[in-house]
Amino acid sequence: MAAIKATKREIMEEARQQAEELLQGANATIERTIREIKEAKAEKEKTKAARKKVEELREQVTPKTPKKPKKPASAGSAPAELPKVMHDFSELRRLKGNVDTAMPSTRTQTSVSIAHKRTVSFERTLDLRGCHADEALEQLIAYMDDALMVGAGEVTILHGTGTGALKQLTRDYLNDLNRQRRKRGQVALEFGDGDVNHGGAGLTVVKL
């Protein structure tokens, strides 16, 4: 099971990295296309060909997230910032002569809404005490994915002392995660025991 879960993590990390590379490539192509349109003074045929190219890219990078019912935004919440890809599409439409403001697709709105919800509801402490090893590892993987996504800064993993099995599981996973991050050229995470006055060896503090 541990080997299967490790393989699963590697596949997920590779897929995430490929998705990031695809988005970066799409951004570069869109910017180049916009520049070509400007240089060509938006000639009709070139604009049409450029638009077709961008539409094909949009189909590739648009998240396949199922639609969910919209919820009214809270009065004090700030509007989510548009992804860079959507800003580029807005400028492309403006160059094409469309006077209306380009709006993000429903799928993109749904993705932003889900990410915002996960950020607001994120807890900076994960309690694994009393969990079996498989259950604890599954929760830890999902929790660290969320922590990295929202940019939590610092999180605390409660595993207790007991037999030390949950603590060892936590440290092994974090070491494995750091090996994967180093392979991708990312900064390794710092982690260690908590303050002796607040749990000490019974918890692991992770700095993201």
Give per-residue pLDDT as tens, 141-178. Answer: 999 998 998 888 899 999 999 899 999 999 999 999 99
E strand or H helix that includes residue 94: helix 84-95
Q: Report the alpha-carbon distance of residue 204 to residue 191 in Å, rounded.
A: 7
3-state secondary structure 96-122: CCCCCCCCCCHHHHHHHHHHHHHHHHC
pTM score of the predicted model: 0.46
Among 25-29, 108-112, 127-131, the range scoring the smallest mean pLDDT is 108-112
* Dihedral sign from CA coordinates of 128, 129, 135, 136: positive
Kindly state the tokens that stand for 61.
């990078």
CA 183 → CA 26, 134, 173, 177, 179, distances in Å? Answer: 24, 26, 16, 10, 6
DSSP state of 161: S
- The answer to whether residues 200 and 160 touch, using CB atoms and an 8 Å cutoff, is no
More reliable by pLDDT, 189 or 120: 189
What mean pLDDT is predicted for residues 33-61?
A: 66
Give per-residue pLDDT as tens, 111-146. Answer: 555 555 666 678 999 999 999 999 999 999 999 998
